[in-house]
């Protein structure tokens, strides 16, 4: 598969409803009141320009929280078991601080 075709396929996966459900699940695991008036996490936006292929077979990308580029969840998705699933997340230092203050 050529580079552009691989990139197009990865973008399609990350834009899928299935991927968005996984991202929302990960965000809600950080703040169970996310997307509500009580939550500290009000919104998320996937940075489609950040999508990269991981040689271990995952798709990596960044999720910007509350429209603040300092609040980032770096996500990975994989389909090793035949089902799209989270390969884990890494939080920016500022996001760790925000969720710790909330108690997440």
Q: What is the DSSP letter of 37?
A: T
Confidence of residue 104 (pLDDT cuts 50, 70, 90): low
Q: Confirm or reject CATH 3.10.450.630 for domain 3-103, answering yes or no.
A: yes
| 1 burial via Cβ count (<10 Å: 0-12, 13-18, 19+) | exposed
Per-residue pLDDT at 100 exceeds 90: no
Q: What is the pLDDT of residues 33-70, one digit of tens each?
A: 999 999 999 999 999 999 999 988 899 999 999 999 99
- For the chain, how many residues are written? 104
Q: CA 46, CA 88: separation in Å to the nearest integer?
A: 16
Considering the entire predicted model, what is its pTM? 0.91
pLDDT at 103: 61
Q: Average the pLDDT over 66-83 and give the result.
A: 95
Mark out the alpha helices in the chain (DSSP H runs).
3-15, 17-30, 93-102
Domain ranges of the chain: 3-103
More confident residue, 74 or 56: 74
State both tokens at 54: 């991981």
Read off φ and ψ for residue 73, nearest 5 degrees: -110, 120
Per-residue pLDDT at 93 exceeds 70: yes
């Amino acid at each position: 598969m050529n580079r552009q075709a691989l990139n197009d396929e990865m973008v399609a996966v990350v834009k899928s409803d299935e991927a968005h459900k996984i991202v929302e699940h990960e965000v809600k695991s950080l703040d169970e009141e996310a997307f509500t008036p009580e939550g500290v996490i009000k919104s998320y936006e996937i940075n489609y320009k950040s999508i990269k292929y991981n040689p271990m077979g995952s798709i990596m990308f960044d999720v910007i929280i509350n429209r603040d580029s300092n609040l980032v969840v770096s996500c990975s998705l994989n389909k090793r078991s035949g089902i799209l699933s989270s390969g884990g997340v890494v939080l920016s230092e500022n996001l760790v601080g925000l969720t710790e203050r909330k108690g997440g």
